[in-house]
Structure 1
Amino acid sequence: QAGEIMLIQGKIAESEKEARKLLEEAVSSGKAFEMFKSMVKAQGGSVEMIDDTSLLPKSKYVTEVKSEKDGNIKVLHSEKLGILAM
């Protein structure tokens, strides 16, 4: 929803439906991915690691978390997850 709101407030789309369509097109065409890479590069990040994820450092520990049922994640408490990951 945040992306849709940004497109509407930026006068790029007139409705949530139109904004969602534009966002889906940007993702499926690869345009969004290329924009993400340009943002990483502009901040001094390594674009090579985005193109080849095998270059990323490997974690010493890995914990697989499985859901008991199918569905979508609606809420993610990123701060708590980040603390848990440390």
Structure 2
Amino acid sequence: MGKHRMRFCTNCYCIRTPLWRRDTRGRYVCNACGLYYKFNTKIKPISVEIRSHNLRILHRKELENMAVHTLASMKRRRRRTIYNVNNS
């Protein structure tokens, strides 16, 4: 899952933004959270409802991506196995 991880805001957990920024620790934040910090020098407050909603979407998207990559790797393995059997 390492190289296929989705990018998400470490503050509000959104996965879509027009521009990704970095916080002071080098983690990704969305444009809104990054600009809020830039102008207010504090982390943007996010309601619990918005944060949990975005987190649910993030988990669902990551599971979908994992399933797609797992199926793709299974197909590649199967093709290699069939190729090896046919060429033996």
- The structure that is strand-richer by fraction is 2
Q: Which has the larger radius of gyration?
A: 2
